[in-house]
Amino acid sequence: MNTFKYFPAKTVNEACELLSQYGEEAKLLGGGQSLVTLMKQDFVSPSYLIDIKGISDLDYIRYDETDGLRIGALTTHRSLETSAVIQEKFAILAQMESTLASVPVRNWGTVGGNLAHADPASDLAPTLLSLGAEVTLTGPNGARVVSLDDFFVDTFETALQPDELLTEIHVPNSSEGAGFYYKFAQRATDLAVVSVAVNLILDPDDQNLCRDIRIVMGSVGPTPLRSRRGEDLLKGQTITGTLIEEAARVSAEDAQPTTDINGSEEYKREIVDVLVRRAIKEAAARA
């Protein structure tokens, strides 16, 4: 690990000023679960390390019946997992967090750092995408809101500019439905080989009719991928076993897996098919 200059930022403005000053030579340190590992392996060697863990203003979970859910970027995974309001209103988030790594990792790792790291195998990203989340990116010229659909650019690349930091995640109330997250991994604490997050909203007047649905796949592309064809098959339709099978099939076709040590492309598409079917059925049962 190379030497670097360390700055403990106490406010968002201070962090923005440091990022503006040092640009791409600087890295932000939140929980450090991903960054420190990369530094130890010499994959990244920042000249300046800006520690934002002390910015207490970015550690919160707030819910409003009109506005929805707002999560500060420094909120830990464990806080999401154990939050009563999330368990009640957005149960898929709490359920997903219980599968993420280990309790020590969840106690220290932050949701903002997870998203900014943009690992294609992230558990959090597909789940928040299924909920139609958006993120606030703050820089020296102010803040801007970006849909999570547009946030992920490529493997480990996001829409963040060098002088910006992710400060908040917003989940609108319109996303309140029933969801489920499935993850296939070699071991329970491992990164996903394939993951699927489904959020289903039924018509209040017909509990068999799909009003809206999001199907998001992780670890099968450079970024989390939505199966819009699978979604379109179910939107506005009465949910049947045949439709679920077809949505799962086209979702597997929409995936972009690559062959690696975890399995072949064909093998991963088969897993997508199985997990999408299970996730839709589980979400429908919960709805």
- Per-residue pLDDT tens over the stretch 5-19: 999 999 999 999 999
Q: Which residues touch 180 (CB under 8 Å, ≥6 apart)?
A: 92, 95, 197, 198, 278, 279, 282, 283, 286
pLDDT score of 189 more than 80: no
The number of residues making up the chain comes to: 287
Architecture of domain 56-173: 2-Layer Sandwich (3.30)
Q: Which CATH superfamily is domain 178-286 in?
A: CO dehydrogenase flavoprotein, C-terminal domain (3.30.390.50)
Reported as type and span, the H/E element at residue 171 is strand 165-171
Residue 12: its pLDDT value, please?
A: 96
Give the pLDDT mean for 275-280.
Answer: 98
Architecture of domain 5-51: 2-Layer Sandwich (3.30)
Local confidence band at 65 (pLDDT 50, 70, 90 cut-offs): very high
Helical H segments across the chain, by residue range: 12-22, 35-40, 77-82, 84-89, 91-97, 103-108, 111-117, 124-130, 148-151, 228-234, 241-254, 265-286
Residue 23: its pLDDT value, please?
A: 87
Provide the 3-class DSSP secondary structure of residue 64.
strand
Q: Which residues touch 110 (CB under 8 Å, ≥6 apart)?
A: 30, 31, 53, 73, 74, 75, 76, 77
Q: Tens of pLDDT along 105-159?
A: 899 999 999 999 999 999 999 999 999 999 999 999 999 999 999 999 999 999 9
pLDDT score of 90 more than 90: yes
Q: Which residues touch 6 (CB under 8 Å, ≥6 apart)?
A: 48, 49, 51
Query: Which residue in 196, 43, 58, 34 sits closest to 119, CA to CA?
Result: 34
pTM score, two decimals? 0.95
Residue 187: its pLDDT value, please?
A: 83
Q: Across all residues in the chain, what is the average pLDDT?
A: 94
Domain assignments of the chain as residue spans, ordered by start: 5-51, 56-173, 178-286
Cβ atoms 111, 124 nearer than 8 A:
yes
